[in-house]
Amino acid sequence: MTFTVRVNERACDAEPRPGQCLRTYLRERGWFGVKKGCDAGDCGACTVHVDGEPVHSCLYPAVRARGRSVTTVEGLAGEDGGLHPVQQDFLDAQGFQCGFCTAGFLMTTVALEGDLDDLPRALKGNICRCTGYRAIEDAVRGVRHTEDPGAGRAVGASPGAPAGRAIVTGTARYTFDVDVPGLLHMKLLRSPHPHARIVAIDTRAARTVPGVHAVLTHEDAPDTLYSTARHEDPTDDPADTRVLDDTVRYVGQRVAAVVADSEQAAEEACRRIDVTYERLPHVTDPEEAMRPGAPVIHAGKGPEARIARVDDNVAGEVHAETGSVEDGFAEADVVHEGTYRTQRVQHASLETHGSVAWFEEEGGAERLTVRTSTQTPFLTRRALCALFGLPEDGVRVVTGRVGGGFGGKQEMLTEDIVVLAALKLRRPVKLEYTRAEQFHGATTRHPFTVRVKVGARADGTLTALQMRVVSDTGAYGNHGPAVLLHSVKEPFALYRAPHNKVDGWAVYTNSVPSGAFRGYGLGQVTFAVESAMDETARLLGMDPLDFREKNLIGPGDRLTGPTGEDEDLHIGSYGLGQCLSVVRGAVADDRSGADVPEGWLTGQGAAVSMIATGLPCGHHADARVRLLADGTYDLAVGTTELGNGTTTVHGQIAAAALGTTVDRIGVRQSDTDVVRHDTGVFGSTGTVVAGKAVLLAAESLAGRIADFAARHTGAARDRCVLAADAVDCAGRLVSLCALYEAARAEGAQDELAGEGHWDGSPRSVAFNAQWFRVAVDPDTGETRILRSVHAADAGRVLNPPQCRGQIEGAVAQALGATLFEAVRLDGRGEVTTAAFRRYRLPHFADVPRTEVHFAETTDAIGPLGAKSMSEGPFNPVAPAFANALRDATGIRFTETPMTRDRVWLAVARQGAVGYAVDRSEDGHR
């Protein structure tokens, strides 16, 4: 029987491969709006309509589509190019951030046909990792948040994202939404052992599989040691990794790579590789790993690896003291001491890691292009060139739109092995992680164990703060020392304790590597410190907010801690007092507990946090803006767009400086051919570093246009003022198009361009406060969030809906880590939660609508008074929830996630024996 299917009203008679799912069938035919997110029908990113019914196309056999009509997101728009009403609603509400899940939500929403009575049930098959769902709900209900662009009001307005139309029509291009002729596919063989030496690898049977082009092992890879972590200074991280190693250190480490005509052939070849291992002792507990006699995970590595103490499995450590904590605790009237633990968390960005590498002819020579899902294209190019001995001008790294990052893509996890294969074969090569590989072969948040000791006088004055911190960096030290150091800085500096001390270790274990994650260690330590502050206030009989307010830093204070003072870190604006006032107002006017079922316990709690708006070791960005012949502007900047909204904000900044509207600013980005250098979008720098470079470039161009206009018209320079599409030269309007033509006639059009550079210093700090009221059913352990309020000091808010969306998304992600998300390992360190249905992500029904309030401040350092707000909101969520739970139940929960079963067991045990179960490790006086 002939196979025919109609896709978006076009007939297709290509026969599907045996076992092929509808998703891959559609994507192979160019319908890239159908996304690959989970491989198992869990995320909904691949949702399409089959004869009008929504289905998860990754589970739907392509052969079942015979004779049917399939509609993808690309088929929703009318033939005239007009948007479907639901597409327009998502565009008007900006119901997306990275946009990778948006097509799936659109297809689900269209199928609702206006039946919006039970959205939690209707949207249960779709996951968004970015937005926190409020913007999606507003889109589904037709609430508009965007504004039409207007001259002179770019900053503080709400223009839509430049890529918005492409996102809602499915035409935005992510990493793998491209056709590369002659593409080969890579699959990886991964280690089944937590620690072993590879004695032999027999690849003969693998090479006989039809379609296999290469089987790569450690014998084909360079011996160079490097770090997968990406920082401006590569010496920030231990160089303990090889592309392919003859020693494996965790279950899931790559052992060999197969390149073939198809993924199926590559997978079959992987199964035929015969590896002989010599098993070695392993250790999965960081405390045990530091003890004498523990297996040495990186034995034999010398100083070039930059490992703090190889024989003790310590990747990095910090030991510092200000004053004397011994004296500080002697002065205290009360002392709280407790141990707090946070778990591994997966970034769970819906677009998995992956790269494509190929060679192109340019000027008679071959040039390597790498297209990759990364937060750091320039640093990745630098690392690839160093690793393979390539010239930087011979390598181009380009990033399409990125489907979420959250720090997980501040790594080089696929580019190195793909380039190794491309160099060997001189053919295009692709590697795209499956969802299971994201869990086994990418990185997680660092698990932390923090012992906190707090001393205070009877009047509530802090006397001492001490911490012992142990983080589990896993099998490799990427980001380990840096996360450890960062984690203890701001939590100390936030409070005025005259005596403070920290001892910390980032420890190797035979488990999946940890890495950069939203907050970069602050979330883990803030959970401990803010919980301990709450408990200390209770010992004193003080209101926890009053206790904090008495001891928090003020606007004129220096930012110091046991590790000293960062000379370039300043309080550029101080909105923490306003944030606390918001929380106090929420407490005073709260009526959310009125309808709580009888017998349920209620409580409220808050927490605060501070984060530096940038990195202490330098973060660089270059930008270039030029006037085009049609009177619009071209902005080139290296920053990657991954749903953080930098593209929108950079356009607003440029428009403000040039006196024009945001729709007249075209943005090119995340391409090493675009500008000189950009460190990358991480460390909360997209607005405050790259944005500063954009501002400087736009201001430079504005001055140059005014100079040329004055010369061209004879008007006084100070009488030449830029407008939306012209220059007012002493009352005479000269269009930008005419000015460009005049400059071109003189051969001076290159003068109508401006460049800007910013090195990330000095830096400011941003503040956040979170408050919850919760209700707990003591009979089941069910916890409901009755109200969620977040106050943020973001400086001058450049785009309120977008900034609010960043906060809502951070709160939602933090709630996942607080309530149920956990990467679980067995005794061998193998991940046992390697699918979304086993790793619990927040769904629409799980996330409350958080009330977001902005402090009214203008930062003295950030561009146009703005501060960063991508990571900070994550950090106070877990302790605020724990403090509310403590208030409701009388139990101090010291470990995340605070799952329903843990809550029930703790409440039941307290009722049985009359004391808080988690107090066993706490000491009070």
164-202 residue pLDDT tens: 999 999 999 999 999 999 999 999 999 999 999 999 999
Yes or no: say if 892 and 338 are a contact pair by the CB < 8 Å rule.
yes
| 5-7 sheet: strands from edge to edge | 10-12, 5-7, 69-71, 47-50, 53-56
User: Regarding beta strands 851-854 and 783-793, do their DSSP bridges make them parallel or antiparallel, or are they unpaired?
Assistant: parallel
Q: Tell whether the model's pLDDT for residue 905 goes beyond 60.
A: yes
Cis amide leading into 762 (omega within 30): yes
pLDDT at 472: 98
Cis amide leading into 897 (omega within 30): yes
pLDDT at 281: 98
SS3 826: coil
Output 615 or 327, whichever has higher pLDDT.
327
pLDDT at 79: 76
Q: Tell whether the model's pLDDT for residue 518 goes beyond 70.
A: yes
- CB atoms < 10 A from the CB of 921, how many? 13
Q: What is the pTM of this model?
A: 0.96
DSSP string, 398-435: E--B-S--TTTTSB-SSHHHHHHHHHHH-S-EEEE--H
Q: Tell whether the model's pLDDT for residue 411 goes beyond 80.
A: yes
Distance between CA atoms of 73 and 615, rounded to whole angstroms?
40
Average pLDDT over residues 591-610: 95
Distance between CA atoms of 497 and 466, rounded to whole angstroms?
10
CA 877 to chain centre: 16
pLDDT tens digits for range 27-43: 999 999 999 999 899 99
pLDDT at 924: 42
Yes or no: say if 662 and 653 are a contact pair by the CB < 8 Å rule.
no
Percent of the chain clearing pLDDT 70 (strictly above): 98
Residues 6 or more apart from 445 whose CB is under 8 A from it?
342, 343, 344, 345, 346, 347, 514, 517, 523, 524, 817
Distance between CA atoms of 214 and 424, rounded to whole angstroms?
9
Distance between CA atoms of 876 and 881, rounded to whole angstroms?
9
Q: Tell whether the model's pLDDT for residue 654 goes beyond 80.
A: yes
Residues 6 or more apart from 553 whose CB is under 8 A from it?
493, 494, 495, 496, 559, 571, 576
Residue type, 295: P
CA 354 to chain centre: 16
- 234 burial class (0-12, 13-18, 19+ CB within 10 angstroms)? middle
pLDDT at 913: 57
In terms of C-beta distances under 8 Å and separation of at least 24 residues, what long-range contacts does 710-717 make, across chains too?
712/739, 712/742
Q: Where are the alpha helices (DSSP H) in 502-601?
A: 522-540, 544-551, 576-589
**Is the Cα torsion angle 512, 340, 576, 770 positive or negative in sign?**
positive
Yes or no: say if 347 and 407 are a contact pair by the CB < 8 Å rule.
yes
Distance between CA atoms of 373 and 409, rounded to whole angstroms?
7
Interhelix angle for 522-540 vs 544-551, to 10°?
Answer: 110
In this structure, what token pair is assigned to residue 95?
Answer: 């119901």
Stretch (H or E) spanning 263: helix 263-272
CA dihedral 887, 893, 894, 896 (to 10 degrees): -120
Percent of the chain clearing pLDDT 90 (strictly above): 94
pLDDT at 440: 96
Distance between CA atoms of 360 and 310, rounded to whole angstroms?
43
Yes or no: say if 729 and 710 are a contact pair by the CB < 8 Å rule.
yes
Average pLDDT over residues 683-704: 96
Taking only Cα atoms into account, the Rg of the chain, rounded to an integer number of angstroms, comes to: 28
Could you tell me which of 535, 550, 561 has the C-alpha nearest to residue 453? Answer: 535
Distance between CA atoms of 32 and 44, rounded to whole angstroms?
15
Residue type, 606: A
Residues 6 or more apart from 642 whose CB is under 8 A from it?
98, 375, 401, 402, 403, 404, 405, 409, 681
Phi then psi for 383, rounded to 5 degrees? -70, -40
Question: Where does the pLDDT of residue 919 fall: very low under 50, low under 70, confident under 90, or very high at 90 and above?
Answer: very low
Distance between CA atoms of 271 and 805, rounded to whole angstroms?
45
In this structure, what token pair is assigned to residue 6?
Answer: 């109609």
User: Regarding beta strands 5-7 and 69-71, do their DSSP bridges make them parallel or antiparallel, or are they unpaired?
Assistant: parallel
DSSP state of 313: T
Average pLDDT over residues 268-294: 98
Angstrom CA distances, 571 to 236, 494, 554, 613, 861, stand at 26, 11, 9, 10, 9
Average pLDDT over residues 143-149: 89
Angstrom CA distances, 398 to 357, 668, 672, 673, stand at 10, 11, 6, 8
Distance between CA atoms of 653 and 656, rounded to whole angstroms?
5
Could you tell me which of 553, 664, 521 has the C-alpha nearest to residue 162? Answer: 664
Largest CA distance in the chain: 89
Yes or no: say if 600 and 776 are a contact pair by the CB < 8 Å rule.
yes
Q: Tell whether the model's pLDDT for residue 16 goes beyond 70.
A: yes
Distance between CA atoms of 833 and 528, rounded to whole angstroms?
26
Distance between CA atoms of 558 and 569, rounded to whole angstroms?
9
End-to-end CA distance of the chain: 82
Angstrom CA distances, 658 to 639, 863, 867, stand at 21, 14, 21
pLDDT at 616: 87
In this structure, what token pair is assigned to residue 211?
Answer: 């379609």
CA dihedral 96, 98, 101, 105 (to 10 degrees): 10
In this structure, what token pair is assigned to residue 131?
Answer: 């937005």
* pLDDT mean across residues, the chain: 96
3-state secondary structure 617-633: CCCCEEEEEEECCCCCE
Distance between CA atoms of 425 and 212, rounded to whole angstroms?
12
Distance between CA atoms of 202 and 409, rounded to whole angstroms?
33
Question: Where does the pLDDT of residue 152 fall: very low under 50, low under 70, confident under 90, or very high at 90 and above?
Answer: low
Distance between CA atoms of 112 and 34, rounded to whole angstroms?
19
DSSP state of 76: T
Q: Tell whether the model's pLDDT for residue 410 goes beyond 50.
A: yes
